[in-house]
Amino acid sequence: MNMPDPQAFAATWLSQFTDPKAWDGWMKMAPMTPPPASANPLAGFLKDIGAGIDPGKLESIRDDYLKKGAQLWQDFVSGKTPVLHDRRFSATEWTAHPLSAFSAASYLLNSEFLLAMADAVEAGPRERQKIRFAVQQMVDAMSPANFFATNPEAQKKMIDTKGESLTKGMANMLADLQKGRISQSDESAFEVGRNVGNTPGQVVFENELFQLIQYTPTTPTVHSVPLLMIPPCINKFYILDLQPENSLVRYAVEQGNTVFMVSWRNPDRSQANLRWDDYVETGAIRALEVVGEITGQEKAHVFGFCVGGTIAATALAVLAVRGRQPAASLTLLTTLLDFSDAGVLEVFVDEAQVALREQTLGGGGLMAGRDLATTFSALRPNDLVWNYVQQNYLKGKEPPAFDLLYWNADSTNLPGPMFCWYLRNTYLENKLKNPGALTVCGVPVDLGKIEAPVFMYGSKEDHIVPWQAAYASMSLLNPKNAKANRFVLGASGHIAGVINPAAKNKRSYWVNDKGGKAGGKSRPKDDGAWFDGAVEHKGSWWPEWARFLAQHGGADVPAPEVPGNAQYVAIEPAPGRYVKARGD
């Protein structure tokens, strides 16, 4: 056969890849709704970002691309199968067929080229992050694994099943179109209150914003200081109480704690005007008051997870100005107080985007839970979008039963004014860390006025709350007794790192009890120095937290025989009805 010149072939190949008509044709093959028009055509996008790259860097990237492209073509015509270092193409079908292997290798090379261009753009860190995010979204969407015509696994499955897999895949896709979201789990396998969110307890208080659950003790005695858990209002609380074997709630009860849980209401139109102040005053502060009135204790352990931690810390800061210090300790899991590094979510936050949200939702309305879920899925599209396109639609498989992904699909709405305040004052303007910069519930907020030992947890691979950002918040809390504060770093990500049951003895965590690399009693201000001096331990971080609570938990007292008291009687069994309201 007549071989074209490798350099000329690679150059032509690149022009075809960036041609708008080729892009449109590719998109018509997609089994999903295509990306927004702002991402199309690719050629225009490449031209735009190319204009912001130093000519020398751009030439180097182009030359490297042409060199690798020419080598790939030579390997292809000589019959050499490329090595595919990507788990999306790990199945033997990809290398069993030369064209499939070449298609995957071509895609990986093109991806490398696009991302190199994005990284070379001369812009500020946030602008470069947004550009890279946009390019990564396109790159992930363009994988040949995402389309039946270029996925040899799906084609083989169709042949092996005599077309049944394709028929089933179409049915799965149509069912998801009716639901308005991609199925990530067998949702029929779970029911809140039956096999998730089923730790025994009673709802002992409710208002228009939340229900308060008191869990049934399992030990004859309990620590006198109760524990109030404040979960994120962006998701439902039962992430902390999945099945018995991975329930942090059940574990806390088994450690001899009287545990209370805030179960946020899933807002409907009647609550479309709620503000951040309402979540602090009517939510966290009211929950603390009720816990104190039920237990007769002046102080409680206060626990916050993600934005629940931001709400909890804000509430305690408000109460400090009012002359109250109701926290025996403060536990914050994957929580941002200093939003200087807000992780990948920064790509969704700038003045224009926040102003648009304020214009549409600031005066009232709901931020739909479905939209929030889509945003979070976009942060990890290969895992949370395209994987299910391939498995559910192209191969006709049913998603497996997975409690965490069932919870992930159980979305919640947010009141527009609350959501807009949160975006502007934390993510955009980062005011919460500055004493007196924000007024909440009528008082200036100063996190440094909270007088309680702090247990701060971060996840090493967290893309939503980078652990370094969680560590930065340590300097804002309990400055008068900073030595009592404790930072623990766990393996894995934002959710999987937190839900790491002690009984399973999986993963690992890091603690630094000596300070920095050179030793010393004070906690290093720099996260790098902290990590250099940290010691890795196998297993779950949960026992570390249990010991922290016990240290500040007071004397042991007989476990309460009944939930609530004469004033706060049981309303209904846990998990209550608020958590069962869907946001779809």
Residues known to be catalytic: 306
Report the C-alpha gap between 224 and 370 in whole angstroms.
41
The count of residues in the chain is 584
Identity of residue 439: T
Identity of residue 530: W
Residue the block writes with tokens 């009673």: 202
Residue the block writes with tokens 């007088």: 451
Q: Are 45 and 39 in contact (CB under 8 A)?
A: yes
Q: Are 425 and 438 in contact (CB under 8 A)?
A: yes
Report the C-alpha gap between 318 and 410 in whole angstroms.
31
Task: For strands 227-230 and 300-305, give the pairing.
Answer: parallel
Q: Within a 10 A sphere around the Cβ of 377, how many other Cβ atoms?
A: 18
| Long-range contacts, 509-512 (Cβ 8 Å, 24+) | 509/536, 509/537, 509/539, 509/540, 509/541, 509/544, 510/460, 510/534, 510/535, 510/536, 510/537, 511/486, 511/487, 511/535, 511/537, 511/544, 512/487
Gyration radius (Cα) of the chain, Å:
26
Residues β-bridged to residue 414:
367
Report the C-alpha gap between 199 and 215 in whole angstroms.
7
Residues β-bridged to residue 458:
489
Nearest to 432 by CA among 331, 534, 318, 346: 318
Q: Are 226 and 235 in contact (CB under 8 A)?
A: no
Report the C-alpha gap between 341 and 345 in whole angstroms.
10
Q: Are 311 and 328 in contact (CB under 8 A)?
A: no
- Specify whether the backbone of 492 is left (phi greater than 0), alpha (psi in -120 to 50) or beta: left
Q: Within a 10 A sphere around the Cβ of 349, how many other Cβ atoms?
A: 19
The three-state secondary structure class of 239 is: helix
Residues β-bridged to residue 261:
213, 229
**DSSP letter at 70?**
H
